[in-house]
Amino acid sequence: MKNSHSSFRLARAFTLIELLVVIAIIGLLAGLVVALAPLAAAKPKIKKTQAELDQLVTVIEAYKEKKGFYPPDNQFIPNNPGTNQLYYELVGTTNNGTLFVTLSGKDSISLPVLPTGATTFNNSTKAAKGSDDFDVQSFHKALKDGQTKVITVANQPIRILVAPVEGPNKQQINPWHYVSSNPTNNPSSFDLWADIVVAGKTNRISNWSKDPVIIGN
Question: Which of the 8 DSSP states describes residue 83?
Answer: G
Percentage of the chain with pLDDT > 70? Answer: 80
The pLDDT value given to residue 76:
72
Is position 35 within any domain? no
Q: Is residue 26 part of a domain?
A: no
Containing structural domain, residue 142: 42-214
Residue 15 belongs to a domain: no
In this predicted model, what pLDDT tens digit does every residue of 36-79 receive, in sequence order? 555 556 788 999 999 999 999 999 999 999 999 999 987 777 67
Q: Is 120 domain-assigned?
A: yes
For residue 33, being part of any structural domain is answered with: no
pLDDT over 70 at 18, yes or no = yes
- In a domain, residue 126? The reply is yes
Q: Give 77's DSSP letter.
A: S
User: Do the Cβ atoms of 123 and 134 come closer than 8 Å?
Assistant: no
Q: At residue 178, what are phi and psi to the nearest 5 degrees?
A: -140, 130
Q: Give the residue with greater pLDDT, 146 vs 41.
A: 146
Number of domain units in the chain: 1
How far apart are the two ends of the chain, measured CA to CA in Å? 67
pLDDT for the residue numbered 89: 94
The whole-number average pLDDT for the span 134-143 is 84
Average pLDDT, the chain: 83
Higher pLDDT, 35 or 43: 43
pLDDT at site 207: 97
pLDDT in tens, 193-202: 999 998 888 9
pLDDT tens digits, 177-189: 999 988 999 999 9
User: What is the CA 154 to chain-centroid distance, rounded?
Assistant: 25
Q: How far apart, in whole angstroms, are the C-alpha atoms of residue 69 and residue 208?
A: 19
Residue 190 pLDDT level (bands cut at 50, 70, 90):
very high
Q: Is residue 2 a part of any domain in this protein? A: no
Share of the chain above pLDDT 90, in %: 42
The pLDDT score that the predictor gives to residue 67 is 92
Q: Which amino acid is at 111?
A: L
Phi and psi, residue 20, nearest 5° = -65, -40
Residue whose C-alpha is closest to residue 174's, from 156, 158, 196? 196
In a domain, 180, yes or no: yes
Reported confidence tier of residue 134, pLDDT bands at 50, 70, 90 = low
